[in-house]
Every structure is written in structure tokens, then in C-alpha cells.
Amino acid sequence: MDIASRPADSDENTQIADAAPPPQAPPVIRREDYLPPAWLVPEIALDFTLGLEATRVVSKLHVARNPDGNGASTLRLNGDQITPLAVRVDGAAVSDWRLDGADLLVELSGDAHIVEVETQVTPAANSQLMGLYASNGMLCTQCEAEGFRRITFFPDRPDVLSTYSVRMTGDKATFPILLANGNCTAQGENADGSHWAEWHDPWPKPSYLFALVAGELVSNHSTFTTMSGRKVDLNIWVRPGDEDRTQHAMDSLIASMKWDEETFGREYDLDLFNVVAVSDFNMGAMENKGLNVFNTRYVLADPETATDGDFDAVEGVIGHEYFHNWSGNRVTCRDWFQLSLKEGFTVLRDQLFSADMGSEAVKRIEDVRILRAAQFPEDSGPLAHPIRPDSYHEINNFYTATVYNKGAEVIRMMRTMAGAEQFRKGTDLYFDRHDGEAATCEDFVKAIEDGTGLDLKQFRLWYSQAGTPQVSVSLTHEGSTATLKLTQKVPATPGQPDKQPMPIPLRVALFDRDSGAHAGEKLIVLDKPSDTFTFDGFAKPPVLSINRGFSAPVSIDFDREAEDLVFLAANDDDPFARYEAMQNLVVQHLVMAVSGGLNDETRAAGRAAIGRAFSAILTDPALDDLMRGELMILPAEGYLAEQMLIADPGAIHTEREALKAWLGRECADDLIALHDRALAVPYSRDAAARGARKIKNQALGYIAAGNNEEGARRALDQYRAADNMTDRQGAVLVLASLDVPEREEALADFRSRYEGNALVIDKWFSLQAGSFHPEVLANIRKLAEHPDFTMTNPNRVRALYMAAAVNPKAFHDASGDGYRLIGDLIRRLDPINPQTAARFVPSLGRWRRIEPVRAAMMREELERIAAEPSLSRDVREQVSKSLG
């Protein structure tokens, strides 16, 4: 063999390994340390010899000295758990390469060379699901953020863009379908039963967008003609047997392609677009160029197995990944600190898309609910970070609700201030200016500034300051003038004790109490610590509607009369504000109740106000059912806890459940009428039928809370009559929390009916783990022993344990067993799949905001994890920040 090879455990390597920092102190990567790469790789050719147990990779890099680099003669190629079996420079074997930790260093004398490296990986043993791994008998890759270095040695950073050519050879029976990025340029068969394919992607891309898939797959094929008349072949690839559940994904893909042309002027740029569904996947999906890889969960949907929510999620994620083709792929990120450049913008794009496909109002409410449930707690806890972080230990830990969802809110604010039309000028300029580049968040803001004419100097603070701003509101009235006084405070977060005031765009309207109308909405921008705004023409004190449409991701502190909230819940013409009024009404009441601030009389008065607003929602003929269903949802326990400095989860649970039961009894007749009306609507995917299903399940929940027997009877009837998953799951959801005989019947039927359907069996696990059943914790422990449970499939792990971690009754059980359950899970899962294990840490990290007895137990659990001798970088970072 003419290629140099040497063992990985040579003396030199051992010495370097000894000198490496101890595993307890992973290096900190800082944004301010960014340096351009010393070497670029304009072209790469990869040759794979595929096998589930062993895959050989020969990679040929055309490297060129970067004129903007530091001129170093050493080429640094990142690696992770791989060994260079052979290294060759310009065709000749070399032996002066060395390892620095996991990286391969090669000395180069000239300005351009061809560097070849050979590696071998073991896909079947790759339980982390990063790099090349086996899933369900097929091979697939996941390279974002730093998975490519687990396949071959490469400058694995997003600012190194290369043109990829891929050749792969594999056994034809095991891997009948061979896919990679771009277009298939050649294929053929060998005499030994193997076959091969060559793929070429003409668009230069960073390594994190590389993908390869090989296995037995069938496709739903369609075509799309782009706005310039180019025909694109579309395929959704799934395992044989799943093809009947791919049409919604295909429809969503076609709708996404059309929408991006119409709304952002973005056209698809290859002749082929492939989507592959895999059942073992750490996240939702991945936007690899021309070859998106999806968690099956966001591809497969039919009425029998997917709820309306699942259908919406498929549409949203298909859109999200497709939109990345421009926001992420054509314009990518310079470094991982800029992650929100692609993620925040793409989330905004998918939100706008889903809003256009369905109800804008309902979509906005759902998005805000997600932000409040996932991002607000992050922003007020030990893991708080700006949407553009300043440092990290492990980049996988920064795929967060802050980077994604708050990132989207920040861009949405720019759009609100500029108006949609001007904003489009800004995004056009951004795409034009940076096409083919690895850009920064600063580049994006500058393009929006230049394209819209906005001055975003102070606005840039939204990128650098963490923490949810709090806006205190007071409204006074004198003569015919109403004066609005606003004060902002951006709370201290780890590493950021002092904050500057930020520009906060607030859409406001003042309602005349008598007419129930307002004289027009205004956009005001609070950009000082405190400011006043006056409004004329009010004979009586008006009712203020503020942060309409949730125009800024802030929390509003406005102590006001319940009657004003009842008024807005019934009259506000902004659907979000109407929802918000209802939420505030309940939040104010429950916060008082939990803190012991209610006596019999004030409790009765508070409930009566909520009851009036709730009953108006149930019966308002002008409301569509999708919106009605939204308005019926009580604020989540986690969101209630957020409103208190120190929360008592037990008291919150009791009070919220008591209110729900009271509403169930108080409004029983209306709820039963609603449930009966909805039961009569036949299944269809139109808005009216979806609305009917939504209120059906909402009503059922309240009926059961008010009267267990009536609820159980209705739930079982609904279950038996169901011809779709929304009704079936809604019924089981209610029964799973009740201690009634109907519960077992429904759960057993559900399991046997869907035996072998992994996504529905996931539901069966989460319905039980998320329930408020008295024995929920014991049930979860039993389910962990169930033959269908496995630690190696992230969907199954999340189905059981994430459902438990977000279930306040299970997680915050006074015994501390819920904390122990999650602590045990993290310790067991970490060696298998650190990325997924680390996602469970933040729930325990909330301890500072929880009453002292529970807080001590949560902390103890974190300490137990910290004491593990060999934690992954992922879990180590989250645990030490949570304790620190």
C-alpha cells in the first residue's frame, strides 16, 4: 500500500493525550476569539465503502491557503473519535502528520495541495447519532454542528465552504437506495453484488450540510415548477410500508416552495429535492443541501395515526427545513455564535408560513405559548444566554429556545417596526449581499438597516443582552387625556449583571368603555428606562390593550381591575390581546391564591370574574372554534411558576386543578353542549372540523375535571367512536389522569391497536407519563421496564422522560422521586447519547426559583450527576452552570 499509515497510539500521540486538559474542564470557545481559517477547501471528493459495521472513507481535499488567514503552514483538520489510517499529500504518502488531541495536523509547504485521508467508522455502534450512524437497518448522517469530524478529518467549521463530490459503494440488497447532496451524476453495478452511485453538489457548502443516506427506502415522488420555469423532482423517502403516510409532507413541501417564492422571492436552486425520514434522530430535522433528513415524527401523518397538532408540526418543520435552503445554506453562518442568524430567521419564516396556511391569530398564540413555556424560563435561569451567545463549551447545548424562538421574535420586531413591505427590501438586500457567504448576525442587521431605513443602533442590544425585559405599566386619566407611563428593566443574567435599556416596540390601543371600540392602534417604542405617552379624547378612563400581537418578547407588569380584563377578553379586536386578557385574569387570580392572598370572599369574586369571561368564550357565536379552543386553555403551571420569585409547584398544581374543576362544574351545561355539538361534526381536515375537534377535547378536559364519572363516560364514548387520532388521543389524555376503570380499557386498546407503529407507541408512553394520575411516578418507573422502551431511540426516551420532566405533578412530586427519576435518566443516558441527555438538565436547573425543600432535592440530584467521573462535555456544561 502506497499510503502511509500508523497506529493511533504511537508515543507521540500518547504524550499529546497526556498533555490535554482534564475532562472536567472542557475548553471555553469564545466569540471574540474568532479568526478566519488558515486554509480553505474549495473542493472535496469523498469515497465511501458502505457497511453497517464498518464504513471506509477516503477523503480528498483540495486545500488552498486563505489569503485572509494567518499564513500558517500547518493544516488543522478536526477529528472526533476517528483515526487517520492513511495520509497522503499531492499523491505521496507522508509521515510527518501528528495528532493534537483529536485533530490531525499536516505540514504543508506550498499554497495549494491535495490532501488525502483515510478513515474507518462503525455506524452500528454510533449511539450518539452524530456523524455516520445506523438507524433501522439503513445508514444516515447528521453533521450539524460538529458531526462531520466523526466521519473524516476536515476543517469542520461553517466558514469553510467546499464543492462536494461523493462516491459510495455498498451491497445492493442492503442499500438499494444511495443518496447524497445535489444531483446523482452516475451509477452502476459491480459483479460482486454491490452497486455504486456518484453525487455532485454544485453549491459550495460547509461540512455541517453534508449528508449521505443508504438503505431500503421507497419514495413519494412529485414535481414542482419554480417561478423561473425549472422543473424540480421531489421525493419523500420512507421505509416500505410508510409511504401511505407521506402525502401531507409532500403537500407541505410544495406549499413551502411556492410560499417562499411569493413571500420572500426565493427560488429553489437544484433539479432535485430529497427528504428522508429516519426513526432515530436527535432533533426534529436537518436541512442538508438538497437532502433533508427528518425525524419520522415530522414526516409521517395520516388521520388515523396523527393528531391535528401533528399535521401542523409536519407542515411547520417541512417548511422550516426547506426555508433553510436560503436562510442557512445559500447564506450560512460564519461561526456557531451566529446560529440565530439562520435559526431565528428561519423560525420566523416558518411561523409566517404556517400563519398563512392556517389561522394567523391561532398561530401567533401558539408561538407565544411555546416561547413562554420554553424560552422565558431559560432566560430567567442559570442557562440564560443572549440570542448570539458569547461563549460555550459544547455547541450542541446552544440549540435552544433562546437562539431559535427568541431569535425569531427579535427579527419579528424589526419587521413590525419596518412594516412587512420594507422588511422584504431588507431581506432581499441581505440575500443579495451575502449569497454564497458565511455571514454574521451583524451582517443581517446591517442589511435590514440599509434595506428598510430603520436605525437599529440601539436595537442591536437584543443580540447581546440576555434576559426577558420587564415593562411596568401605569395608566392615569385626567380631563380628556390618558397618560401611559412605561418603565423597563432588563434583569441581570449570568455574566451580565448590568443591562442597558432596549428599544421595545409595543402595539397599543385604548378602548372606550362605553362603545367598546378604540380610535386606532399605535406602535410606540419604549427605548429609555422610562417614558410617558399621552392619548387625548377620552371622557372616561379608557381600557388599555398593550403588546398587541405580542409585538415584543417582554413581560408586562400591569396590575389592573379584573373587570378590565373581562372587558378585553370579550371585546378586544386583536385576537392575541383577547387571549392575553383571559390569561392575565387567570394568572392574577391563581398567583393570589397560591400565595395565600385570597379569603373566601375574594376567591369567590375572582372565580366569578373568570367564570363570566370563560362562559362568554364558550358561547360567543362570533368566535371560530379554533380560536375558541385556544382561549379555553388555562395558563400552564410552569408559566404560573415563572410569575413568582419562588414557586411552590405543589400549591400551583392544586390551585390550578381546583379552578379547572370549578369551571367544569360552573359551566357544565355550556361545556356539555359544546362537546355534543363538536361530536356531531364529521372528520375532515378543514378549519371548521379541526376547530370542532379542538373544542371537543378542551371541553372534555373541563367536564372530567368537574365531574370525573361524567368525564370518564364521555371520554370512553369518544374513544370508541373515534375515527381519527385527534379524538382518540384527546379521550385517552383525559382518561389517563383519572383513577377509573375506563382508563385501563382505553390504554390497553390503544396499545394493541397501534402495536408496531413506533410514533403512536411513543404517544402511548407520553400520555401516561404526562398524566395527573395519582400513581404517575410509579407508572413511569414501570413503563421504563416495558419491553417497548429503549434508551437508544431518542423519540422513545423523550416520549417517556420528557413527558415526565414537563409534567409538574410527576416532576415536582413532594417526595423528590421525580427529580431522582430525571437524575437517574441523565446519568444512564449520558454515555449513550450525551446530546439528548443534556436536554434534561435544565428542568433540574430551575431549583433557585423553587421553594426550599424541593430546591434542596433538585440541587442534590444535580450534585449526584456532577459527581459522575466521566460525564460528557454536553452534560458537564449544563450541570456545572446549573449548580454554579
Residue 521's Cα: distance from chain center in Å?
32
Q: Which C-beta is closer to Zn ion: that of 246 or that of 346?
A: 346
Distance (Å, whole) CA 487 – CA 471? 5
Q: Which C-beta is closer to ligand 0A1: that of 285 or that of 704?
A: 285
590 in Cβ contact with 640 (< 8 Å)? yes
Q: Which C-beta is closer to ligand 0A1: that of 286 or that of 301?
A: 286
Q: Which C-beta is closer to ligand 0A1: that of 162 or that of 833?
A: 833
- Measured from the Cβ of residue 5, the count of other Cβ atoms closer than 10 Å reads 13
Distance (Å, whole) CA 528 – CA 502? 7
Shortest Cβ 392–ligand 0A1 spacing (Å): 14
C-alpha cell at 869: 467521573
305 in Cβ contact with 759 (< 8 Å)? yes
Site for ligand 0A1 contains 403 (CB under 6 A): no
Task: Name every residue whose Cβ is closer than 8 Å to that of residue 514 and which is 6 or more positions away in sequence.
Answer: 540
User: CA geometry: angle at 565 spanning 560 and 567, to 5°?
Assistant: 130
Shortest Cβ 286–Zn ion spacing (Å): 8
Which of 47, 144, 762, 874 is close enough to bind ligand 0A1 by CB under 6 A?
A: 144
Site for ligand 0A1 contains 283 (CB under 6 A): yes
Distance (Å, whole) CA 271 – CA 229? 11
- Ramachandran quadrant class, 220 (left: phi over 0; alpha: psi -120 to 50; beta: rest): beta
Shortest Cβ 290–ligand 0A1 spacing (Å): 15
Site for ligand 0A1 contains 152 (CB under 6 A): no
Site residues for ligand 0A1, window 336-365 (CB under 6 A)?
343
Per-residue burial over 573-608, b = 16 or more CB atoms within 10 Å of its CB, e = otherwise: ebbbbbbbbbbbbbbbbbbebbeeebeeeebeebbe
Site for ligand 0A1 contains 399 (CB under 6 A): yes
Q: Report which secondary-structure segment, H or E, holds 734.
A: helix 725-736
Stretch that binds ligand 0A1, among 278-286, 363-371, 381-389, 724-732 (CB under 6 A): 278-286
Q: Report which secondary-structure segment, H or E, holds 117.
A: strand 112-121
DSSP summary character for residue 846: G
Shortest Cβ 347–Zn ion spacing (Å): 7
Site for ligand 0A1 contains 727 (CB under 6 A): no
Q: Report the DSSP beta bridge partners of residue 29.
A: 392
Shortest Cβ 129–ligand 0A1 spacing (Å): 7
840 in Cβ contact with 802 (< 8 Å)? yes
Site string for ligand 0A1, 432-471 (x = CB under 6 A): ----------------------------------------
Q: Which C-beta is closer to Zn ion: that of 407 or that of 808?
A: 407
Shortest Cβ 266–ligand 0A1 spacing (Å): 17
Site for ligand 0A1 contains 142 (CB under 6 A): yes
User: CA geometry: angle at 449 spanning 161 and 374, to 5°?
Assistant: 70
Q: Which C-beta is closer to ligand 0A1: that of 283 or that of 414?
A: 283
Site string for ligand 0A1, 311-340 (x = CB under 6 A): ---------xx-------------------
C-alpha cell at 794: 431518542
Distance (Å, whole) CA 706 – CA 714? 13
Distance (Å, whole) CA 266 – CA 241? 34
Site string for ligand 0A1, 234-273 (x = CB under 6 A): ----------------------------------------
Distance (Å, whole) CA 385 – CA 379? 7
Peptide bond just before 145 cis, omega within 30 deg: yes
Site residues for ligand 0A1, window 286-305 (CB under 6 A)?
286-287
User: CA geometry: angle at 409 spanning 385 and 415, to 5°?
Assistant: 135
Stretch that binds ligand 0A1, among 131-139, 283-291, 641-649, 802-810 (CB under 6 A): 283-291
Shortest Cβ 222–ligand 0A1 spacing (Å): 22
Shortest Cβ 732–ligand 0A1 spacing (Å): 30
77 in Cβ contact with 129 (< 8 Å)? no
Indicate the burial class of 109 (C-beta count within 10 angstroms; 0-12, 13-18, 19 or more): exposed
142 binds, among Zn ion, ligand 0A1, none (CB under 5 to 8 A by kind): ligand 0A1
Shortest Cβ 142–Zn ion spacing (Å): 13
Which of 285, 348, 368, 725 is close enough to bind ligand 0A1 by CB under 6 A?
A: 285
Grouping H, G, I as helix, E, B as strand and the rest as coil, residue 107 is strand
Shortest Cβ 399–ligand 0A1 spacing (Å): 5
606 in Cβ contact with 562 (< 8 Å)? yes
Distance (Å, whole) CA 445 – CA 450? 9
198 binds, among ligand 0A1, Zn ion, none (CB under 5 to 8 A by kind): none
Site residues for ligand 0A1, window 806-825 (CB under 6 A)?
none
DSSP summary character for residue 611: H
Q: Which C-beta is closer to Zn ion: that of 359 or that of 402?
A: 402
Distance (Å, whole) CA 174 – CA 186? 20
Q: Which C-beta is closer to ligand 0A1: that of 149 or that of 859?
A: 149
Shortest Cβ 695–ligand 0A1 spacing (Å): 32
Q: Report the DSSP beta bridge partners of residue 511.
A: 518, 543
Stretch that binds Zn ion, among 242-250, 346-354, 419-427, 644-652 (CB under 5 A): 346-354
Stretch that binds ligand 0A1, among 100-108, 285-293, 695-703, 779-787 (CB under 6 A): 285-293
Q: Which C-beta is closer to ligand 0A1: that of 108 or that of 347?
A: 347
Residues that bind Zn ion (rule: CB under 5 A) add up to a total of: 2
204 binds, among ligand 0A1, Zn ion, none (CB under 5 to 8 A by kind): none
Q: Which C-beta is closer to ligand 0A1: that of 399 or that of 533?
A: 399
Distance (Å, whole) CA 628 – CA 661? 19
Shortest Cβ 342–ligand 0A1 spacing (Å): 7
Query: In terms of DSSP bridges, do strands 131-135 and 504-511 run parallel, antiparallel, or are they unpaired?
Result: unpaired
Compute CA distances 120 → 49, 56, 404, 841, whole Å. 9, 4, 35, 33
Q: Which C-beta is closer to Zn ion: that of 343 or that of 666?
A: 343
Q: Which C-beta is closer to Zn ion: that of 290 or that of 501?
A: 290
Site for ligand 0A1 contains 639 (CB under 6 A): no
- Among 178, 76, 145, smallest CA distance to 117 is for 76
- Among 786, 626, 767, smallest CA distance to 696 is for 626
487 in Cβ contact with 557 (< 8 Å)? no
C-alpha cell at 13: 500521540
Stretch that binds ligand 0A1, among 97-105, 225-233, 284-292, 435-443 (CB under 6 A): 284-292
Site residues for Zn ion, window 314-343 (CB under 5 A)?
343
Q: Which C-beta is closer to ligand 0A1: that of 44 or that of 285?
A: 285
Catalytic residue among 321, 343, 580, 642: 321
- Measured from the Cβ of residue 686, the count of other Cβ atoms closer than 10 Å reads 9
Stretch that binds ligand 0A1, among 49-57, 264-272, 281-289, 741-749 (CB under 6 A): 281-289
Strand extents, DSSP E, 218-355: 218-225, 231-238, 272-278, 285-286, 291-295, 332-333
Annotated catalytic residue 261: no
830 binds, among Zn ion, ligand 0A1, none (CB under 5 to 8 A by kind): none
Residues that bind ligand 0A1 (rule: CB under 6 A) add up to a total of: 12
Shortest Cβ 208–ligand 0A1 spacing (Å): 8
In the complex, which residues of this chain contact Zn ion (CB under 5 A)? Answer: 343, 346
In the complex, which residues of this chain contact ligand 0A1 (CB under 6 A)? Answer: 142, 144, 282-287, 320-321, 343, 399
Give the residue numbers marked as catalytic. 321
